[in-house]
């Protein structure tokens, strides 16, 4: 008695190889898109923090009649640390609050807390060290996310938001030596190499 050859259920080798090829093609297309969306999200976080810091400068000016520099502010209820230098960077995600620091006309320190996103470096720089006897009359703010690929900036003398995607690449924090120094009544980013209006 002969048994008829029965086909077993399952996929052939050719069918499996076609499925693997399709998955490979989709992965080649999708992975760069996912990375692009992630970097755009990181850049958006830096841009949002930049605009918040710009608004906070206006708030601190109404109280102190001068602008503030970025730094590590102390928790509410304690005396803030007086700013000692311009160009201090605040890195978001730390245990302490980040803020703008300045000095009032009576010599006491004033802080304006900032909420800075995790991984965002932000620098608010004034033309003078905001201390008793020195008045900070202009400022710029720059920000960049550690995993972003664009540095953003605003100058109080201009309504523009500037961007620079050639200054620093992804995976590198903003450094002080790359921060433009502010000049009174001058748009410090207009016409500066690699900076363009967003």
Residue 4: inside a domain = no
Residue 2: inside a domain = no
Q: Which two tokens stand for residue 37?
A: 């969306």
Q: Are 90 and 70 in contact (CB under 8 A)?
A: yes
Residue 3: inside a domain = no
Residue 1: inside a domain = no
Count up the domains in the chain and report the number: 1
pTM: predicted TM-score of the whole model, two decimal places: 0.74
Lowest mean pLDDT among 3-12, 90-99, 104-113, 173-182: 90-99
The pLDDT tens digits for 23-63 are 999 888 888 888 889 989 999 999 999 999 899 888 888 88
Query: Which domain, by its residues, includes 149?
Result: 13-197
Residue 77 pLDDT: 52
Q: Are 124 and 182 in contact (CB under 8 A)?
A: no
The pLDDT tens digits for 100-142 are 778 777 777 777 877 788 888 888 888 877 665 678 888 888 8
Give which of 127, 112, 166, 111 is closest to 144, Cα–Cα.
Answer: 166
């Amino acid at each position: 008695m002969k048994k008829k050859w029965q086909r077993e259920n399952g996929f052939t080798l050719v069918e499996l190889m076609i499925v693997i090829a399709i998955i490979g093609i989709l992965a080649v297309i999708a992975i760069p898109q996912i990375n692009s969306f992630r970097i755009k999200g990181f850049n958006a976080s830096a841009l949002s923090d930049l605009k918040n810091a710009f608004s906070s400068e206006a708030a601190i000016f109404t109280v102190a009649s001068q602008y503030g520099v970025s730094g590590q502010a102390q928790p509410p209820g304690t005396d803030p640390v007086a700013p000692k230098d311009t160009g201090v960077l605040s890195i978001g995600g730390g245990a302490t609050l980040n803020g703008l620091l300045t000095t009032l006309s009576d010599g006491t320190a004033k802080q304006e807390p900032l909420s800075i996103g995790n991984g965002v470096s932000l620098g608010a720089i004034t033309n003078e060290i905001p201390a008793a006897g020195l008045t900070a009359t202009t400022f710029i703010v720059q920000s960049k996310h550690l995993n972003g690929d664009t540095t953003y900036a605003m100058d109080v003398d201009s309504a523009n938001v500037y961007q620079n995607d050639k200054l620093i690449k992804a995976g590198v924090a903003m450094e002080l030596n790359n921060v433009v120094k502010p000049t009174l009544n001058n748009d410090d980013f207009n016409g500066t190499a690699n900076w363009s209006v967003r």
